[in-house]
Amino acid sequence: MTVDAMDDMPNMDSLIAALPSPTLIIGRTERVERLNSAAETLLGKNVAGRHFTTALRHPKLVDAVERSLLDGAARQISVQLVVHGSDAVYDVHLAMVQRSGLLLLSFQNVADIAQAEQMRRDFIANVSHELRTPLTAVIGFIETLRGPARDDAAARDRFLDIMAGEADRMNRLVGGLLSLSRVEADERVRPSARVDVRQILYTTLDNLAPLARDSGVTLCCDAGQAPLEVIGDADQLVQVFTNLVENAIKYGGADRSVEISLGEAAHDPVLRGPATEITVTDHGPGIEPIHLPRLTERFYRGDAHRGRAQGGTGLGLAIVKHILNRHRGRLKVASVPGQGAQFTVVLPPAPA
Ligand SMILES: Nc1ncnc2c1ncn2[C@@H]1O[C@H](COP(=O)(O)OP(=O)(O)O)[C@@H](O)[C@H]1O
Ligand SMILES: [Mg+2]
């Protein structure tokens, strides 16, 4: 390096001031020699010039600094600090600056990373739990069929039916999970096709006619004839309405009707503009208010026991939510317990 280039080198203060994450330097005197403003915000304004034991306070951090000053080795530790009254987790990197005797500490807030990790762990725990229940049943019946029920033809048929049902359930779970992961994967890619919501509704209702008939449910659709366009992914929108109408049939109760209506709102407060609204109304037991905010969480079943008996996975509304997010739309749910439920899909209309 030439002398000129050296002259151009900024000094230590301006270098660490340019770093976005909290950074400080401990000198040979074991005092905090420099810190940037992010570090001041984190540790307080008056730590400059203090001995590192009083400046840092956190025992784990002080210990790591002591050891790095002794052995000159770089380290990384994770500490929990209280920032403005709330807990935050930081990864702190310690590194000796070559031949200077200075120790550089940089802090990285890992709260978001930790939260994502936690969500991943919860998700795996949930999936395992959901799969284990039907699997345990199947394993139990296999044992029974090999042992006590070996020569009992009637029991065998019954158990095989139950096993087929449990296998179906696992199949639906895996199908739902794959569908959810596909939807999440392209959530940030806006759809680009102009599609007719009425056409999509009619396709959905055709698909569900057999289920409705078997459940003794009458589907009434008041969608008119004129096309009503949104920018969307037709397959995904069919998936949305299929989930909602299927729920209305499943949970709305046999021998009742389910109404599907289509309308336009001049101004939706959340979309901040005009909206196309599709409402699915049933006349079943409805949903208790405490469940409403959590319905779109994965695996959430309002009435877990009943939901499972009816083959629910709790993934349907989670998929609906992700698809609507992708479409810049939203889902509204209203219910008076005992009088049924109303699920409304709100979508921005296609520009004229
Ligand atoms: N129309 C409805 N009436 C009453 N409860 C409903 C209705 N739709 C959904 N729910 C409740 O919301 C839960 C989540 O629905 P969903 O995500 O579609 O999962 P699944 O149908 O697989 O159980 C259901 O288990 C049920 O308790
Ligand atoms: Mg469902």
55-59, 217-221, 268-272: lowest mean pLDDT where? 55-59
pLDDT above 50: residue 1: no
pLDDT band, residue 115 (cuts 50/70/90): confident
Per DSSP bridges, beta strands 32-35 and 75-83 are: unpaired
Residue 302 has pLDDT above 90, yes or no: no
| % of the chain at pLDDT higher than 90 | 71
Q: Please give the pLDDT value at position 301.
A: 86
Q: Which residue has the higher pLDDT, 103 or 149?
A: 103
Cβ neighbour number for residue 175 with a 10 Å cutoff: 12
More confident of the two residues 83 and 349:
349
Least confident range of 19-28, 299-308, 341-350: 299-308
Lowest mean pLDDT among 8-22, 39-53, 157-171, 173-187: 8-22
Task: Please tell me the number of the ligand nearest to residue 315's CA.
Answer: 1
pLDDT band for position 319 (50/70/90)?
A: very high
Distance from first CA to last CA of the chain, Å, rounded?
A: 63
Query: Which ligand 1 atom lies nearest to the CA of residue 314?
Result: 19
Mean pLDDT of the chain: 90
CA distance 17 to 38: 8
CB-defined site of ligand 1, < 6 Å: 243, 247-248, 251-252, 282, 284, 287, 295, 300-303, 307, 312-317, 341
- Scored b (16 or more CB within 10 A) or e, 31-63 reads bbbbbbebbeebbeeebbeeebeebbebeebbe
Distance CA 174, CA 267 (A): 39
**Who contacts 230 (Cβ-Cβ below 8 Å, separation ≥6)?**
194, 195, 197, 237, 276, 327, 347, 348, 349, 350
301 SS3 class: coil
Residue owning the nearest CA to atom 8 of ligand 1: 247
Task: Output the pTM of the full model.
Answer: 0.73
The predicted pLDDT at position 253 comes to 83
Residue nearest atom 15 in ligand 1 by C-alpha distance: 314
Distance CA 13, CA 95 (A): 17
Contacts of 302 (CB under 8 A, 6+ apart): 287, 288, 291, 295
Grade residue 84 by pLDDT with cuts at 50, 70 and 90: confident
Those residues whose C-beta lies under 8 Å from the C-beta of residue 128, and which sit 6 or more positions away, are none
Q: How far is CA 232 from the centre of its chain?
A: 22
Q: What is the pLDDT of residues 60-78, one digit of tens each?
A: 999 999 999 999 999 999 9
Q: Is the pLDDT of residue 349 over 70?
A: yes
- Tens of pLDDT along 226-247? 889 999 999 999 999 999 999 9
Q: Which ligand is nearest to the CA of 288?
A: 1
